Structure 1
Amino acid sequence: MNMMSSVSRVADLPAPADALLVAFASGDGDMVDQHFGSASAFYLYEVSTDNAVLLARQAFGTEKKDCNEDKLKPRLAWLAGADIVYCGSVGGSATRQLVALGINPIQVKGGPDVEELIEGLQRQLNGSPEFWLANILKQKQKTSAAARFDAMDEEGWEE
């Protein structure tokens, strides 16, 4: 199923406890071929063990590749809430800001296919995830459990 909607920011989407929200810096949605800070677009997928759904595409204006920190702000604001972002390259400042938002930036070379990267994530989700992915999944489970307890508390749930 390929439902793509308009999303003002990733954080507005429901955070799936059993899936990853993964963004790809891509000009066409097929290959990761963009530098984070100057990416013309990000394609956001919800990736689970057996499914991948394109949720949104967000386009950005093209800026000159310089040390302009302001160009990062709209990208960071839109991506907040994502678990992972794949890009062709990412600078140190952007990396620090992504990590502070809880987003794991992954730099990939050679313009790999988005589909192949998704399949690689799914293999890990179905098997033994690498350390970095295991940490993301562990954090998502903690967040999900805390949200359930908060919801029960708001409903006045008692033992």
Structure 2
Amino acid sequence: MIKIAFASKDGLNVNEHFGWCETFYLYEIDAENANLLKKIDSSKKYEAEVDKLEYKIECVSEAEIVYVTQIGPKAANMVKIAGIYPMKAASESEKVEVVIAQLQKLIANPPLWLQRILLK
């Protein structure tokens, strides 16, 4: 089982930047199943960039992967240090269900980066 947080405005598409995302959708997936665990409100505003990024990371702290349209290098580094693997969508029209299906296929024969996540 992997928990993945999608940065999305509508819950259907991956269409939000990590630092500006106001709602994350947390799914738990394995090779056959995908369940939406919860919608995470991440709309609190912070002036300082570091405070904002720490808050966003705290919001997705249950996830092993965070899937976004964009993430800056500083944010990506902070996310990795928190033990979460950041992934970028190919486009803002990438569907959450398509990403889940792709990850489910990968789970059957996981690449090294995914093996590390699965072993946690």
TM-score (norm 2): 0.90
Instruction: Pick one of 13, 16, 20 that aligns with 1:34.
Output: 16
| 1:60 shift after superposition | 2.5
Q: Is it true that 1:52 corresponds to 2:34 in the alignment?
A: yes
Structure showing greater Rg: 1
Bigger relative CO (Cα 8 Å, ≥ 6 apart): 2
State the alpha-carbon separation in 2 of the partners of residues 67 and 132 from structure 1.
32
Q: Report how far residue 69 of structure 1 moved.
A: 2.3
Instruction: State how far apart, in whole Å, the 1-side matches of 2:37 and 2:101 are.
Output: 17
Per the TM alignment, residue 136 of structure 1 is displaced from its structure 2 partner at its CA by 1.2
Deviation at 1:132, TM superposition (A): 1.2
1:125 partner letter: I
Gaps of 5+ in 2: none
Q: Which runs of 4+ in 1 moved over 4 A?
A: none
CA distance in 1, matches of 2:80, 2:114: 14
CA offsets 1:34-58 (integer angstroms, 9 cap, x no match): 0000012100000011100000111
Match of 1:71, SS?
helix
Contact 2:5 2:65 in 1 (8 A): yes
Unaligned stretches of 5+ residues in structure 1: 1-18, 141-159
Aligned partners of 2:17 and 2:70 also within 8 Å: yes
* Greater percentage in strand: 2
Contact 1:38–1:63 (CA<8 Å) still a contact in 2?
no
Cα shift readout 1:39-96 (whole Å, capped 9, x = no counterpart): 12100000011100000111232759x9722221221112113110000010111111
Could you tell me how far apart the structure 2 residues matched to 1:67 and 1:116 are?
35
What fraction of aligned residue pairs are identical, expressed as a percent? 35
